[in-house]
């Protein structure tokens, strides 16, 4: 869903839209191939506040139709999405006008700066904000709850009493080690 910045009124501008199941599936698969969208898409409710040239986006993304295969045991699970949005969008031209930094100077970012994005032009794609929020929310290696996940991928370890078999190339060194052990 794309919006034109010049058509936004000062103050609150509400937007509600549905992310189709196919598009949600594409977004969650970008986080990890273990994710998939079930039969439902996602519902997005957001408000874009416009103050001068700066836009503040707040809202919520909700979906009950997100599933995944556990990265540990590969059992299918469900994970509802309930993501709170808080984003600040600043036009890149505003930063260019106000920045008096030389190319060598470094800028220290604060935690407040992490929710700031920049935009060019007059058009903003709200779906890109939704996509980024989902990708930041999803674990790149989804797992079951720790207590219920049974990892069965590897064979059991050998017992500690069993002496591991030595590579034949190390046999001369092992023999020297045994001689030294018996001398002391």
The pLDDT, as a whole number, for residue 151 is 59
Q: Which domain holds residue 7?
A: 2-137
Contact 133, 61 (CB under 8 A): yes
Predicted structure pTM score:
0.68
Cα angle value 115/121/123 (rounded, 5°): 75
Q: Is position 174 within any domain? A: no
The pLDDT, as a whole number, for residue 62 is 92
The CA distance from 138 to 24, in Å, is 13
CA nearest to 3, candidates 153, 87, 126, 110: 126
CA nearest to 66, candidates 19, 123, 104: 19
Q: Is position 41 within any domain? A: yes
DSSP 36: E
Q: Is position 107 within any domain? A: yes
Strand partners, 95: none
Q: Is position 72 within any domain? A: yes
The pLDDT, as a whole number, for residue 66 is 85
- Alpha-helix residue ranges (DSSP H) falling in 123-166: 126-137
The pLDDT, as a whole number, for residue 46 is 93
The pLDDT, as a whole number, for residue 89 is 86
Cα angle value 178/180/184 (rounded, 5°): 115
Burial class from Cβ neighbours inside 10 Å (0-12, 13-18, 19+) for residue 157 reads exposed
Q: Residue-wise pLDDT tens for the chain (184 aa)?
A: 888 888 888 889 899 999 999 998 898 888 888 888 888 889 999 999 988 888 889 999 998 878 888 888 888 888 888 999 888 888 877 665 555 555 556 656 666 666 677 778 888 888 998 898 888 888 888 888 766 666 555 555 555 666 677 788 888 888 888 888 887 6
The pLDDT, as a whole number, for residue 9 is 87
Q: Domain tally for the chain? A: 1
């Amino acid at each position: 869903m794309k919006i034109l910045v010049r058509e936004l009124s000062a103050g609150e501008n509400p937007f509600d839209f549905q992310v189709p199941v196919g598009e949600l599936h594409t977004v969650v698969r970008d986080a990890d191939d273990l994710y998939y969208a079930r039969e439902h898409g996602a519902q997005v409710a957001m408000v874009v506040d416009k103050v001068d040239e700066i836009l503040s986006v707040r809202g919520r993304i909700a979906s009950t139709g997100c599933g995944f295969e556990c990265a540990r045991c590969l059992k299918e699970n469900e994970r509802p999405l309930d993501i709170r949005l808080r984003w600040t969008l600043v036009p890149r031209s505003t930063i260019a006008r106000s920045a008096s930094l030389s190319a060598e100077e470094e800028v220290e970012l604060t935690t407040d700066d992490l929710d700031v994005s920049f935009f060019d032009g007059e058009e903003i794609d709200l779906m890109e904000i939704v996509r980024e929020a989902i990708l930041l929310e999803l674990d790149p290696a989804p797992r079951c709850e720790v207590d219920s996940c049974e990892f069965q991928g590897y064979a059991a370890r050998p017992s500690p009493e069993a002496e591991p078999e030595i590579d034949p190339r190390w046999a001369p060194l092992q023999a020297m080690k045994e001689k030294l052990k018996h001398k002391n």
